[in-house]
């Protein structure tokens, strides 16, 4: 049985919310609520859901950019829960992050060469500057940028080029896992395809595993081996992408997939849109956990085409109830997420 590269167990993250001056009760909102999953070497694990469901917080908690409230994160056999800064630095050599905004994630005061080589400097690799710059030029060439632009600044590049710089920086140390936090959401469609193909090519070349966070279902389908669906901090369903897109079991997953447009006008007009009515539970009111219809146990699917889940040692696919607050007739719905009667 293949050992997972990353094991996440009962991960939770709560953020405090402002309360009344006279209130003694401390209120909080659960951005991530008791989620567990594994990622295997060389695998792309897609994490999909609507905005605000806790996807990015999950990635930041795994990387320890945000300290989790509770839970366990084991990377390459090492428990990261009680690590100090020095130990985290050593672990992050093999775990890197690609940020969502290519405009904010690059230091405008540094040249592209300095940005891409910064991980090498921090971890003490390639102390010779000439050798380091030659390696940076090689990385820029691999990600499709002109190596002669090594002395240019971020403002001289387009959004897609800046994201390529971020990818080059993430691959500088040849990590085992890269957390991709919506790396193509700020790019137009044609550039999205180029960046996704680049990530797939680099994965084949270096054998890197991805935690790919996105809200675009078509993007996740294009790059992922397995897909997890999140809603309100909970993990609703986990399966291989073929089974998930062909036969989604959880009603929230069905609703998400029914919202994806289809290029064929005849099919698009004849298909039935699944709309869940209601209002998500708010922090100032107790949430009621409602059992959802059709929330059947997920079938055991393949992690990869032609490879069984048991052969890869993966966990069985699961589904979970959605936390929703029933809507009253006098209140207009703010969200399209609820349970049909």
Instruction: State pLDDT tens for residues 105-142.
Output: 999 999 999 999 999 999 999 889 999 999 999 999 99
Torsions phi, psi of 32, nearest 5? -130, 125
Count how many Cα atoms sit within 13 Å of the Cα of residue 261 in the half-sphere of its side chain: 3
Q: Is 245 exposed, middle or buried (0-12, 13-18, 19+ CB in 10 A)?
A: middle
pLDDT at 293: 38
pLDDT tens column, 271-294: 777 776 655 544 444 444 434 434
**215: Cβ contacts below 8 Å, ≥ 6 apart:** 48, 49, 50, 51, 55, 182, 185
| Domain boundaries along the sequence of the chain | 6-94+175-250
pLDDT tens column, 201-236: 999 999 999 999 998 888 888 899 999 999 889 998
Higher pLDDT among residues 96 and 293, named by residue: 96
Higher pLDDT among residues 298 and 153, named by residue: 153
DSSP 72: E
pLDDT at 1: 59
Picking from 235, 251, 248, 234, the residue whose alpha carbon sits closest to that of residue 287 is 234
In CATH, the number for domain 6-94+175-250 is 3.40.50.300
Torsions phi, psi of 124, nearest 5? 70, 30
pLDDT tens column, 19-75: 666 667 778 889 999 999 999 999 999 999 888 889 999 999 999 999 999 999 999
């Amino acid at each position: 049985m293949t050992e997972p590269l990353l094991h996440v167990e009962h991960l939770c993250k709560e953020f405090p919310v402002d309360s009344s001056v006279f209130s003694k009760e401390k209120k909080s909102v659960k951005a991530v609520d008791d989620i567990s999953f594994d990622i295997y070497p060389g695998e792309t694990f897609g994490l999909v859901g609507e905005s605000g469901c806790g996807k990015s917080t999950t990635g930041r908690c795994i990387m320890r950019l945000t300290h989790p409230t509770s839970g366990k994160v084991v990377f390459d056999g090492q428990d990261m829960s009680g690590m100090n800064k020095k130990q985290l630095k050593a672990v992050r050599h093999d775990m890197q992050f690609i940020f969502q905004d290519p405009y904010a994630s690059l230091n405008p005061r540094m040249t592209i060469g300095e940005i891409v080589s910064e991980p090498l400097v921090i971890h003490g690799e390639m102390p010779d500057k000439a050798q380091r710059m030659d390696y940076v030029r090689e990385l820029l060439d691999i990600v499709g940028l002109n190596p002669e632009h090594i002395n240019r600044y971020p403002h001289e590049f387009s959004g897609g080029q800046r994201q390529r710089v971020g990818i080059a920086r993430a691959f500088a140390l040849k990590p085992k896992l890269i957390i991709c936090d919506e790396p193509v959401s700020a790019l137009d469609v044609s550039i999205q395809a180029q960046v996704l193909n680049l990530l797939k090519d680099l994965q084949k070349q270096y054998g890197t595993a991805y935690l790919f966070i996105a809200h675009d279902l078509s993007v996740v389908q294009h790059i992922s081996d397995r897909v997890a669906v999140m809603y309100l901090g909970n993990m609703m369903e986990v399966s291989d992408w073929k089974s998930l897109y062909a036969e989604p079991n959880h009603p929230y997953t069905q609703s998400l997939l029914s919202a994806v447009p289809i290029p064929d006008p005849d099919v698009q007009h004849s298909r039935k849109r699944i709309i869940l009515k209601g209002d998500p539970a708010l922090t100032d009111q107790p949430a009621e956990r409602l059992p959802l219809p059709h929330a059947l146990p997920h079938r055991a699917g393949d992690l990869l085409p032609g490879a069984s889940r048991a052969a890869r040692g993966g966990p069985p696919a699961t589904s979970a109830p959605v936390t929703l607050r029933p809507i009253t007739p006098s209140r207009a719905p703010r969200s399209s997420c609820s349970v049909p009667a």
